Amino acid sequence: MRHHLILRVITKLLVGAIILFAFYVQFHGDFSPGGGFQAGVIMAVAFILYGLVFGVAQVQRVFPPWLVHKLLALGVLIYAGTGVWNMLLGYEFLHYGSFAPHHMSHGQHSGILYVEVGVGITVTGVMVAIFYAFAGRRPQLGDDDW
């Protein structure tokens, strides 16, 4: 794989920038286009690009499959937990009133942020899990069979 040196160096430079951009989209999504879904896909792209260039085994050392599966559950728990928290305090499922009862707009902002973080974590996990599922398959035809 030495003949892909430029691709490997550029990928190492891009992965950090892609992850940083994903965080920007995640936390700036309520002020501009973006949010949890878009940030989750962008974050997953960083790991998928790394896996395409360096191999699935390498990316699984950085982001192991057991962690991907835990993130799937964690994201759903954050999303659902936000709604359940409101219900336990007497509000509707995703009303967000419990986060700042004295100032509802601050509560709305906080609640949306929590929900979007849950969505972002879930989408990242799903996209990486799909990549692992497809990339881990053995080809049915070898290179000589074409």
Give 15-74 pLDDT, tens digit per residue.
999 999 999 999 886 666 668 899 999 999 999 999 999 999 999 999 999 999 999 999
CA–CA separation, 11 and 58 (whole Å) = 13
For tokens 């972002």, the residue is 120
Above 70 in pLDDT, residue 86?
yes
Give me the helices (H) in 29-103, please: 36-54, 56-62, 65-88
Give the per-residue pLDDT at 43.
96
95-134: pLDDT as tens digits = 877 777 777 777 777 888 888 899 999 999 999 999 999 9
Q: How far is Cα 112 from Cα 120, in angstroms, rounded to an integer?
A: 12
Count H helices, E strands: the chain? 5, 0
Say what the pLDDT of residue 31 is.
Answer: 66
